Amino acid sequence: MRDTLSLTDSLMKNGIVVTVYKVQGIELRHRWEQEFAQDINRSVKKSIYFNEFLWHVFSYGKLPCLTNDKAISAFENEKKQDCYVFYQNDDVVYQLENAEGLRAEDFSKEDDVYIVDTGFNWTYVQTHESDCGPYFYKSTLRR
């Protein structure tokens, strides 16, 4: 079970209002797919093991994104008001309000975590792989 108190406490110290939901991860993973990977056909998703990790759309080059330091910088500079935080393999979801103080380092010890604004205009992903990510994607990066 994920240590929700540790992350919650860390975020709240930055003035972020945190609401924890224990069972909405499936819904947000589905919405993430609909918003960011809807144009990728089923056979391509199968070939990149999308069902294992949503972020494979970035690691396999199926969506243009920023990586590493550029991803961190873009995330840090993105205007953040209200966001969701969810995981690949957990159903816990954090809804964040007043998230201006949200930083990439808040998630440096997290694996396969997805941060999105509530409008699903951008996403930041911290993976479990040291040579994959982090990734930042915004709809304006589309080719």
pLDDT tens-digit map of 39-96: 999 999 999 999 999 999 999 999 999 999 999 999 999 999 999 999 999 999 999 9
Distance CA 16, CA 18 (A): 6
> Is the distance from CB of 55 to CB of 133 less than 8 angstroms?
yes
- SS3 label, residue 122: strand
Q: Name the nearest CA neighbour of 129 among 88, 74, 86, 80.
A: 88
Torsions phi, psi for 67 (to 5 deg):
-130, 165
pTM of the model: 0.92
Whole-angstrom Cα distance, residue 39 to residue 47? 15
Provide the token pair at 27: 């819904």
- Please calculate the CA angle 14-16-20 and round it to the nearest 5 degrees: 130
